[in-house]
Structure 1
């Protein structure tokens, strides 16, 4: 196997040995591995024993030369764990205290991020002054129509804070992890706000970014891709519509609509090249400072300025550090292997931000760069430009393939072609036009940049509409990453290298291993964590039913990603209990996001989703069907029933296999419960509490008639309705029912066979940042 990719040197003079380079790579790699290992822990370990063990391993490396390499690696790994653990302790200590949660707090401070619009108002980062009793940074939501807000402005806000808490589902976004990464110790809603005089000095660069973004929006008006131009200029992505994000994801060019490392590098190269060309034409300058150094300094300065303009996110930090490492090497004319540049930049980013390893974009970015360096080091001669470009696309796609399958369960097959067109257009045309347009008072260059991207997006739309634009795969076990990584490295070796033919064998498990199907007569119910709403997935061996869709936002952010993670590629039935937003708000998103064979519910004829092409039928008591020896029956509402409100018209579904059963009662109240009891309602092994555990439901006779072994509460964290009601919780407990609740346990999984096995998703995938939360009372 060729090792040129590992030991290839930058264009400097070689002097370091292979053994020294190997130790360097192993030490930094072990440090990064230690940080990663710490971030996977369910609870934070004590740091002092780890620190003592690291010192012992370092001492053994010094005293025992034969054990130097493994001891050095062990010491670096333990130091990485200590470093990440210390930062984690600091972040967790800065979280909102339990005593302050839910109380009204008045705090002075300043807005420290660019405010962006949401469906219901504005959201921004807020940095309170010391002594407020709040964490150092808070994510604030101001609902309704707030006054004009600007980054750096000082405000006195009356806040209702909460501790970091998000929905937890298979395949879903982990909000608590994201808040930990971004040093946000609480969320809060504004009750009242008063503008204070002055601005915060530390937000000076962000104020410039906000002014530039506003200028672009004013110049482009309602142009369809104005949000993309703002994102390329100042890194603010909130104006990019969900439809555009979906198209970018299906074609694999999401990285191009943010200020990524690719843009920073290309811009630095262009400016450095231009400065170098001018520099050597001025003898006075060239005689005082060598042209290569002037070119290098100009490129690095450009990279720094553009990174600051972008908000200094992880992709730009990674690129800037990598450029700095390479730049120092070139400046000093000292040798450094490309692999050493890569590992140094990786370790430097992790050193400055140990939480960066929690972001998928961090790994996708670094692996892409690493694969390109590996490919470049294994090339023989100078291939034709077309072959080189195709090889680059192949390397970038292959390097990220295993992680895309693990995290997103899909691979954009159109990505190589889309990137082949979009990278040169966006990086070499749209981005330079955008940045030059910031200096153009006429606005012509900004308009031209927007039009060029519009043409690019037209092509992306065509590619995204292709039948096989994306390839969906089931979530693989984490252990598959190791053989897949070996397969990727082998596949990127030059043709003819011994062992390269083994690459498909190492990659094959990603395609062949499938989750074990449920046996006939067994079924699984997953009560998804959707906040103050409801959505339940019922799966048999060959079929899937979704009961309720929560709100539109939850359908997009939680339900659809969870269905992909659970290998649900189509729905045989979508059943919507009634026309409340927390149950039916996401219907259209589900119909657009997945193939649905049929759907039914208690929705009025005027509901917009009933105009969809998927056949709709009202649910009526007595409807029955059977899938894989599992029986489904609608037990409410009866034909011709007229309810006083939407809740009373809820479709009630019973699912049974002859030994265990599930009851999904929607939001029925006590009148409907009494009517069901009169129809000899059968007991149920598991009941999803009606109306989220409201006091207006789950009457004593209903609880006694159903006699559940388990009760599931789907409710939002510290919701304003105080669901589930304490009286209802005690009533189920008095009848012997064990309780699980989505606000405390995440998504709830019930496996129905001869008996029922139940667990919460937080219990299945514990992490230290969520275990620090207090169970809602």
Structure 2
């Protein structure tokens, strides 16, 4: 009977997952006939087949529930007719604002739209760039804002911000044009105001201490104060979860509170004379865990921990003990019922799989897990249990993870977390300083381990490998000596043995990466890799490096930076610091920080050429004797040529430079042209388009960018010349592969469709 109940819960979760894999939503009430059929079958079936019928009914129920919720969520998105129109609205700041050197970003909850005929979603993610007054949680504002539909960059291996906004219930983004503070605070954001006050107090106390962000994350769950380099260190050691408030933290708070209640009750029995002390300990522990979870923002790992803890405590109070695996499954079910979009999150799977692996390991070990050997075994179990998600989402396997976690988890759980939470009641701040220094010492050891143990990159495995790999890992964690345990290796092997795509000699693969309003192109031959331009600051981490990891590229032969404009060179320094680069070929000022970071620096000039694996690369521009009045005119122009195909990347050079190259007969027909200056009217002259008459033109531009690139007249000009256009703002990353005389073009959004993607 218990197995049937658990199977029904699993079926519901599978149904929810199945809906989230759909490229388009079925009609909201389409599953109703299947629900009715399943209910009849479950009612009429004989006992032997009833379990299967109930499984099917719960599968359809999960699918239908997730489908209905998805329709509601998608209906709360900004209407396309409202885009690029200024709207005046009143509301309050929900959540914690994120401040940077460029401005502030925050969630805005409108309570009144004052512009006639305008409507806004329930929640918007707004940016206020440049000079702005202080924006804090719960404050009320009247904003003049310019909303946009939810739209994010889409790249191989990259973060899906559209999926994240779907999870968060954000129906639009936008920029604040003007804001006026209104009196009072919103009661709905009361908890966030408390969290913000705690964060500010910690930051004031610790000042410029390097690991202050970790102390903030431990106390409040806000990880925005952790630096980029620190995140890289966590990723290399597999210890990112240390900054997530999870079951370890919640259980410890409950246990400490329960112990303190017992200590007080035994010394002052009159305080707790109503009811026995044991019940008081359980209730106080649960209340403390809930309060701490609210302070931490109730993320998915925290929800899981609180639900498991609450279920266990209720069972103890009722005198009906429940197996740990049943509690785990109930928590999984409840989280998915409350939030069907949680299954899109990697954090959901990492949290539940890690705990599931520990439960599975302990269930299959007679006498439990004890001692150092047992502790190392549990860390290995957590690493193996989360391995499929780590490879699919991050494409990286931190081999040092079990050892790093065996060291870090006890220190963080037994020292850093108690010191941090006790610091809330310490006016001197000494406890927070002690917690920060303790973590700093721990990190020093972790950094040493990361420097001596590699973290190999892997291509994201095919989706079909995940379920067999999970089964294989569970087999491997069975007790030694059981028959069939070796089958786990066979089932898990495809997850790691993903053949890297082989490029034939004389061919290339070019990927125009979606870097918003900017340019970055990855060009691969059989044994070499080149990146042309790097987009704006932040795009190396957000887009370029994930693409390189997904292609298993660990070093670059050449980085070309066409000119110093921020949307072309903004991430050059970050990229050069992130991985080895043999040659930097650039048109940059002498004082630019990118110089000196590659093994070899060279100024980009016309006439430079080289051959990689039968593919020739030629720099067509700039020439020393040409008139170059601005930075765009000095930009590098690169030609890539095989025996049958030609591709041109003209950066931001203008009509004058195009005419100069035409007069020197350097152009002619190209199969692919990356449109100059993102499709601006200052480039792509009629004569240039006619002479190159490409089969494909690629526009690298941001969604609804303020320059209105690509300009309609430029798009029409290429279309008249017979070119088919692809665009990063519409199609995501664009991959062009030469195959002899044939050219294959793939669009990321088309190849990997999801119902939440913006449709054009």
TM-score class normalised by the smaller sequence = over 0.9
8 A Cα contact 1:247 1:461, kept in partner: yes
Q: Does 1:678 align with 2:667?
A: no
8 Å CA contact retained: 1:642, 1:649: no
Gaps of 5+ in 2: none
Alignment correspondent of 1:4? none
What is the distance in 2 between the residues matched to 1:613 and 1:684? 31
From 740, 747, 766, the equivalent of 2:753 is 766
Shift of 1:284: 5.1
- Report 1:371-390 matches (<5 A): 371-390=357-376
Alpha-carbon distance in 2 for matches of 1:382, 1:48: 48
TM-superposed deviation, 1:515: 2.7
Report what 1:524 is aligned to: 509
Q: Secondary structure at the match of 2:535?
A: coil
Deviation at 1:153, TM superposition (A): 0.8
Q: Partners of 2:602 and 2:215 in 1: how far apart?
A: 45
Task: Work out the CA distance in 2 between the residues paired with 1:642 and 1:267.
Answer: 70
Cα offsets for 1:426-453 (capped at 9, x unmatched): 1111111111111111211122112212
Q: Kindly indicate whether the alpha-carbon contact (under 8 Å) linking 1:368 and 1:399 is maintained by their aligned counterparts in 2.
A: yes
> What residue in structure 2 maps to residue 345 of structure 1?
331
TM-score where L is the length of structure 2: 0.97
Cα distance in 2, alignment partners of residues 417 and 605 from structure 1: 45
1:13 is matched with which residue? none
Q: What's the TM-score, normalizing by structure 1?
A: 0.95
Matched, 1:587 2:548: no
* Cα distance in 1, alignment partners of residues 376 and 212 from structure 2: 31
**Which residue of 95, 106, 127 corresponds with 2:77?**
95
1:283 deviates by: 5.0
For 1:374-773, list aligned pairs within 5 A: 374-466=360-452, 468-639=453-624, 641=626, 643-680=628-665, 681-753=667-739, 754-770=741-757, 773=758
Q: Which moved more, 1:760-769 or 1:514-523?
A: 514-523
- Structure 2: distance between partners of 1:43 and 1:365: 28
Q: Aligned residue for 1:198? A: 184
Q: SS state of the match for residue 170, structure 2? A: coil
Distance in structure 1 (CA, Å) of the matches to 2:269 and 2:105: 54
Higher mean C-alpha deviation, range 564-573 or range 381-390: 381-390
Partner of 1:6 in structure 2? none
Match of 1:42 among 13, 16, 23: 23
C-alpha deviation, 1:538, in angstroms: 0.9
Inter-partner Cα distance in structure 2 for 1:694 and 1:522 = 30
Distance in 2 (alpha carbons) for counterparts of 1:56 and 1:613: 65
> 1:25 maps to which residue?
6
Deviation at 1:636, TM superposition (A): 1.4
Q: Deviations along 1:255-289, whole A, 9 cap, x unmatched?
A: 11132222112221222233234434555577753
Secondary structure of 1:428's match?
A: helix
In structure 2, the residue matched to 1:268 is 254
SS of corresponding position for 1:769: coil
Deviations along 1:289-310, one digit per CA (max 9) or x if unpaired, are 3333222212211110100001
Cα distance change, pair 540–342 in 1 and its aligned pair in 2 (3 A): same
Q: Deviations over 1:488-544 (max 9, x none)?
A: 111111111111122222222223331330222221111010011000111112211
SS in structure 2 opposite 1:129? strand
Q: 1:756 and 1:488 mapped to 2: Cα distance? A: 41
Shift of 1:384: 3.8
CA–CA distance in structure 1, aligned partners of residues 681 and 113 of structure 2: 40
Distance in 2 of aligned mates of 1:710 and 1:379:
61
CA deviation string 1:553-585 (max 9, x = no partner): 111111111111122222111111111111111
Please show how residues 246-261 of structure 1 align to structure 2 within 5 Å: 246-261=232-247
Write the distance in 1 (CA, Å) between the matches of 2:544 and 2:257. Answer: 45
Question: Does structure 1 retain, via aligned residues, the 8 Å contact 2:510–2:524?
Answer: yes
Deviation at 1:130, TM superposition (A): 4.0
CA offsets 1:395-447 (integer angstroms, 9 cap, x no match): 10110112211111101122112211211111111111111111111211122
Secondary structure of 2:163's aligned partner: helix
Query: How far is the alpha carbon of 1:61 from its aligned partner?
Result: 1.6
The answer to which of 603-612 and 299-308 deviates more is 603-612
> SS at the partner of 2:356?
helix
The farther-off stretch of 541-550 and 284-293 is 284-293
Contact 2:577–2:597 (CA under 8 A) maintained in structure 1:
no
2:167 is aligned with 1:181: yes
Q: Matched residues in 1 for 2:387 and 2:368: separation? A: 27
Contact 1:209–1:309 under 8 Å retained in 2: yes
* Cα pair distance change 1:613/1:690, threshold 3 Å: closer
1:592 and 1:160 mapped to 2: Cα distance? 36
- Taking structure 1 as reference, are residues 153 and 321 closer, same or farther at Cα in structure 2, changes over 3 Å only? same
Quote the offset at 1:382 in angstroms.
Answer: 4.4
Task: Give the match for residue 281 of structure 2.
Answer: 295
1:319 pairs with one of 305, 312, 323 = 305
Q: Following TM superposition, where does structure 1 have runs of at least 4 consecutive aligned residues deviating by more than 4 angstroms?
A: 280-288, 639-642
Deviations 1:608-642 (Å, cap 9, x if unpaired)?
11022421111222222222222211111224556
Distance, in Å, in 2 between the alignment partners of 1:362 and 1:774 is: 27
Residue segments in structure 1 that go unaligned for 5+ positions in a row: 1-19
Correspondent of 1:81 among 49, 59, 63? 63
CA contact (8 A) 1:476 1:510 kept: yes
Q: Is the 8 A contact 2:96 2:192 kept in 1?
A: yes
**Larger relative contact order (C-alpha < 8 A, sep ≥ 6)?**
1
| Higher mean C-alpha deviation, range 120-129 or range 513-522 | 513-522
Q: 1:14: which partner in 2?
A: none
Question: For the Cα contact (< 8 Å) 1:673–1:702, is it kept in 2?
Answer: yes
Query: Bigger CA drift: 164-173 or 252-261?
Result: 252-261
Matched, 1:54 2:40: no
CA distance in 2, matches of 1:722, 1:407: 33
Query: What is the CA RMSD across the aligned residues, in angstroms?
Result: 1.5
Residue 686 of structure 1, CA deviation: 0.6
Q: Which whole-Å CA distance do the structure 2 matches of 1:383 and 1:441 have between them?
A: 40
Classify the secondary structure of the residue corresponding to 1:125.
Answer: strand
Q: Structure 1 residue 336: deviation in Å?
A: 2.4
SS at match of 1:48: coil
SS at structure 2 position matched to 1:768: coil
CA contact (8 A) 1:280 1:286 kept: no
> Which is further off, 26-35 or 290-299?
290-299
**Alignment: residue pair count:** 753
Whole-Å separation in 1 of the counterparts to 2:350 and 2:84: 38
CA gap 1:270/1:471 in 2 versus in 1, 3 angstroms: farther
Of 373-382 and 732-741, the range deviating more from structure 2: 373-382
Conserved 8 A contact 1:475-1:567: no
Q: Counterpart of 2:109?
A: 127
Mapped to 2, the partners of 1:582 and 1:164 lie a distance apart of 22
CA contact (8 A) 1:527 1:748 kept: yes
1:251·1:469 contact (CA, 8 Å) conserved in 2?
Answer: no
- Aligned-residue offset at 1:745: 0.7
